[in-house]
Homo-oligomer: A and B are copies of this chain.
């Protein structure tokens, strides 16, 4: 049932209907005893969502496959209607796209962290004390003196916090490489290993880059080391415009999500601060697009930090901002997450994500609050996330009848 939207693509037609996909990253949760057996969605005061949900249909979505915990990449691919199992997009390319870097067919990208290494070469902090963005920019300027390695061009670009991106541009740079990031503290950075023989050249370049970077950062503290992961090249994706005839825009603040959006052909609207401003940006751009992807990061960060109250607060901020939308309510309004990030787990998880679709023709169910438990009983059932896009198109009357 999942994975192939060829039939959907054949039936697409265009009209004036506006669709908004509001993604509260890591939205789904599980109850914890500490918080009275409630989830953040249950604990949050959400009068506006409560009102909308009465005229919506709800359900829960399986991001990839039952039991599979997705990263943000697969989670978002599924939401956009791309098969996350067949289509693995490396985090390096996603981050690079999000930063607006120019990516060609022969670009190999890696996501990188500045990290702290002790004098035994052991990583003591994978995030170098979460150095600020400004410091990262400064360090990136130092690394930018590495302009090329064995004829391969090197490009460094700072991202948010301790994160940056390394691009290698040259021929025959196969991305099938292991990470240098050991994902744990107390270990040395790993050598980048070719996973197939074709990737030998790329691994040598990457390892030389790491060695050179460590040399350049020797005097720095705490950021005296780099960790690379998510080696990847640009995938050839049909855009949402090509597949679903949609004019699409992303209202997202973080490079990774902007990157995902850009890879599927969305226009990137300016970065703004609050959810309210994100919704206002939608109002401003209402005429220009018929599909708006709005991404809210706070729910995921709070879930990963195990911060129940902050997750509740983010949900309440979204709820309080909803009246902005009512000025020009999208014809189809979906609220969901790309995966669950339960507070008790402090991590992404496999739990199905609550989803709500609001439209004048969405049908009905007895869900009276947008929570995990109630969504279990919703009219959409429990379904693969890749089917969300066809449902949004259908609710926007953007799909013709199949067969006579």
Q: Hey, which bits of chain A sit against chain B, CB under 8 A? A: 1-2, 7-8, 11, 30-31, 37, 39, 60, 64-74, 84-85, 88-91, 94, 111, 229-230, 342, 344-345, 347-352, 361-366, 372-373, 376-384, 387, 389-394, 399-404
B372 in contact with A402 (CB, 8 Å): no
B372 in contact with A30 (CB, 8 Å): no
B67 in contact with A402 (CB, 8 Å): no
B67 in contact with A404 (CB, 8 Å): no
Contacts of A344 in B (CB 8 A): 361
Residue of B nearest to A393 (CB): B67
A336 smallest CB distance to B (angstroms): 14
Contact of A401 among B71, B379, B393 (CB under 8 A): B71
Q: List 29 A-B contacts (CB under 8 A).
A: A11-B68, A30-B361, A60-B379, A65-B387, A66-B390, A67-B387, A67-B389, A67-B393, A70-B402, A71-B402, A72-B403, A73-B403, A74-B403, A91-B403, A111-B404, A229-B404, A344-B361, A347-B401, A349-B361, A349-B394, A350-B391, A363-B372, A364-B372, A372-B379, A373-B379, A376-B378, A376-B381, A380-B382, A382-B382
Given contacts A31-B364, A352-B379, A376-B381, 17 further A-B contacts (CB under 8 A): A1-B2, A7-B65, A31-B363, A67-B391, A67-B399, A68-B390, A70-B401, A73-B403, A73-B404, A345-B361, A350-B391, A363-B372, A364-B372, A364-B373, A372-B379, A376-B377, A382-B382
A370 smallest CB distance to B (angstroms): 15
How far apart sit A69 and B13, CA to CA, in the bound complex (Å)?
13
**By DSSP majority rule, is chain A's interface helix, strand, loop, or mixed?**
loop
A26 smallest CB distance to B (angstroms): 12
B403 in contact with A70 (CB, 8 Å): yes
B376 in contact with A379 (CB, 8 Å): yes
* Copies of this protein, total: 2
Given A88-B403, A399-B350, A404-B91, residue A65 in contact with residue B364 (CB < 8 A): no
How far apart sit A68 and B69, CA to CA, in the bound complex (Å)?
28
Contacts of A364 in B (CB 8 A): 30-31, 37, 39, 372-373
Contact of A60 among B66, B345, B381 (CB under 8 A): B381
